Chain A
């Protein structure tokens, strides 16, 4: 295919995504919005997996972002969507920058469990500080405004979908650039050989720290986008099972591309919802079976099918 023609499938996909609210039902649109938002948190998990760092506590930053925005609404009276997203991003970055100072010294199971421990500490705080966080009741998000434009309740779903689409696309593009940069490749290098990284004069800890806070910032934005879409947040956002879900989706999608978390996340949300509809009491079994199939037959995740298709279609 010629150089300019190569972009046609992307343009068509972009057009289809932008015009989706005119075609799809509100429920499907909602699922796509939540999946797209969560894909940002999964992207952070994938980013860390590139350096062979598995975290079972990434929901910490997801909840930190959502609650920073929720508290912004409650105590500062913020209703501007951009301000709330900015606040969540800063919270994700800030908390990960702080905890990262400790966490980046560890590897393997210690890294995974230390993250899990911190996320459960936050879960406990969110649960027990009822007067501030609302405890199990959580916090409510009113419909946000964007500049002078207020979102009407009727079109809220569609507009939040578009917001998630544009913001998500921007963040995915920035992460794509990061993956292709020297700093992005250093994470790959760390996975293979930390000794050589140090003997190139590159700081392993600084590279891991950078990756860690980027992942934290992405999760923070994911948290507020889900909060805005659902209209309500609870401490469950920080619970270990949420972190497990991010890891699940990362494995489901694969780590080969920045697009893999999006594919994995959309697939996960739809499989979960339809599995729940078909079998309300055993839907987890359906998800478990799906993961087993992926591990046995597609160890590189669903995204590896794209690589297989490219290989089969030849040069």
Chain B
């Protein structure tokens, strides 16, 4: 499999704190990678650097061999990198369908002045996506009225609607109840399985990473301390100590 995302010596400081240190990483096409680590281990910083929200102090980021280190979030998104957020970033005063229609308009590159946003083909596709994410009953509801779990799914649905090459999800089950988190992940994985989207997700929960990723990366104090097959990596005593605080 060819390398889709590569970071070389990626380093980022917040004041005197080194949030990410000399990160050298390759993500291959079609991969489903789970990133785990304790608070402040550099997981979200990694996502923010790859998507252009933050700029590194040193190092570079390559997307399919192209240097994207200094590009803006908008430019990186247009190159096929989409993301979801730990706190869903949505248009609260628009309906669920309108949120999706905007994503579909953005993907088509036709953010025009004349033709309507509510056009038939986008409405059909939007309805399909909502069904895949079990959100179809909320279609005409304002996002501000949605429950937290549905907002989380919609945030990811907006990223998926862009049909990215690389999807980055920041804690997709954060804020979702313990009973619902596997259902949320089942919905996500079944949707992504039918696509060729390379996926990287950040998680706190070892069970989620073990169950849904094909490769696990463990971050600790800005460095990758373990990388490999999830069941092997997550049973390692050193990893447990770094993530859970005890072996």
**Proximity string of chain B (95-115) to chain A, C-beta cutoff 8 Å, 1 when within and 0 when not:** 000100111011100111111
Q: Give Cα A196 to B114, complex, Å.
A: 23
Q: Give Cα A181 to B115, complex, Å.
A: 6
A182 with B93: CB separation less than 8 A: no
Interface residues of A in 2-22 (CB under 8 A from B): none
Closest to A202 in B: B106
**Proximity string of chain B (113-134) to chain A, C-beta cutoff 8 Å, 1 when within and 0 when not:** 1111110000000000000000
B12 interfacial contact with A, CB 8 Å: no
Residues of chain A within 8 A (CB-CB) of B107 are: 201
Q: Give Cα A188 to B91, complex, Å.
A: 8
A31 interfacial contact with B, CB 8 Å: no
Closest to A203 in B: B74
Q: Give Cα A35 to B116, complex, Å.
A: 29
Interface residues of B in 161-208 (CB under 8 A from A): 162
A111 interfacial contact with B, CB 8 Å: no
Q: A185-B102, A186-B102 are in contact. Are A196 and B89 (CB under 8 A)?
A: yes
**Proximity string of chain A (80-120) to chain B, C-beta cutoff 8 Å, 1 when within and 0 when not:** 00000000000000000000000000000000000000000
Closest to A181 in B: B113
Sort chain B's interface into a size bin.
Answer: 20 to 34
A273 interfacial contact with B, CB 8 Å: no
Closest to A189 in B: B91
B90 interfacial contact with A, CB 8 Å: yes
B82 interfacial contact with A, CB 8 Å: yes
**Proximity string of chain A (192-203) to chain B, C-beta cutoff 8 Å, 1 when within and 0 when not:** 110110111111
B162 with A201: CB separation less than 8 A: yes
Among A186, A201, A204, A207: residue with most chain B CB under 10 A: A201
B77 interfacial contact with A, CB 8 Å: yes
B26 interfacial contact with A, CB 8 Å: no
Residues of chain A within 8 A (CB-CB) of B106 are: 200-202
Min CB distance, B39 to chain A, in Å? Answer: 22
Sort chain A's interface into a size bin.
Answer: 20 to 34
Residues of chain B within 8 A (CB-CB) of A192 are: 90-94
Q: Give Cα A66 to B241, complex, Å.
A: 73
Q: A198-B74, A199-B51, A202-B111 are in contact. Are A182 and B102 (CB under 8 A)?
A: yes
Residues of chain A within 8 A (CB-CB) of B74 are: 198-199, 201-204
Residues of chain A within 8 A (CB-CB) of B82 are: 199
Closest to B110 in A: A182
Min CB distance, B66 to chain A, in Å? Answer: 16
A186 with B77: CB separation less than 8 A: no
Closest to B106 in A: A200
For A181, give its contact among B72, B90, B116 (CB under 8 Å). Answer: B116
Q: Give Cα A132 to B221, complex, Å.
A: 68
Q: Sorted from nearest, which 8 A-B pairs have the closest CB atoms?
A: A201-B77, A182-B105, A200-B106, A192-B91, A196-B89, A201-B78, A182-B111, A198-B73
27 sample A-B contacts, Cβ–Cβ < 8 Å, listed by A number: A178-B114, A181-B116, A182-B117, A183-B111, A184-B113, A184-B117, A185-B102, A185-B117, A186-B111, A189-B91, A191-B93, A192-B91, A196-B89, A196-B90, A196-B91, A198-B72, A198-B74, A199-B74, A200-B77, A201-B74, A201-B77, A201-B106, A202-B74, A202-B106, A202-B111, A203-B74, A210-B113
Name A residues whose Cβ lies closer than 8 Å to a Cβ of B: 177-178, 180-186, 188-189, 191-193, 195-196, 198-204, 207, 210
In addition to A186-B111, A192-B92, 6 A-B residue pairs with Cβ atoms within 8 Å of each other are A181-B114, A182-B105, A184-B113, A189-B94, A201-B162, A202-B106
